C-alpha cells in the first residue's frame, strides 16, 4: 500500500510542477494545490500505514 501511495504522491508532484510552469493563472493555482496534496500524501506515507484496528474499539 505504501508503494501505491508513494507513486500517487510522485504523480501529484509531477503534474503540479507541470501546471506551475504554465502561463495561465488557473493552472498555477491547480498546480499549487496538487503539490500541496502530494506533500501531505508523502508525509502520511512516511508515517506508515497501520493494518490493525485500534484496540479501544475491540
- Domain assignment present for residue 40? The answer is yes
- Domain assignment present for residue 54? The answer is no
The predicted structure's pLDDT at residue 58: 55
21: left (phi over 0), alpha (psi -120 to 50) or beta: alpha
Confidence bin at 12 (pLDDT 50/70/90):
very high
- Domain assignment present for residue 39? The answer is yes
Number of domains in the chain: 1
What the block records as the C-alpha cell of 55 is 484496540
Contacts of 35 (CB under 8 A, 6+ apart): 12, 13, 16, 17, 20
Q: How far is CA 53 from the centre of its chain?
A: 24
Is-above-0.95 flag for pTM?
Answer: no
Cβ proximity of 31 and 17 under 8 Å: yes
What are the tens digits of pLDDT across the range 14-52?
999 999 999 999 999 999 999 999 999 999 888 876 666
Can you give the residue range of the structural domain that contains 31?
2-49
CA Rg value for the chain: 15
- Domain assignment present for residue 57? The answer is no
Amino acid at each position: 500500500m505504501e508503494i501505491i501511495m508513494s507513486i500517487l504522491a510522485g504523480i501529484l508532484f509531477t503534474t503540479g510542477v507541470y501546471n506551475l510552469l504554465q502561463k495561465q493563472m488557473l493552472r498555477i493555482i491547480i498546480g499549487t494545490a496538487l503539490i500541496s496534496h502530494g506533500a501531505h500524501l508523502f508525509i502520511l506515507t512516511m508515517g506508515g500505514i497501520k493494518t490493525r484496528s485500534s484496540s479501544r474499539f475491540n
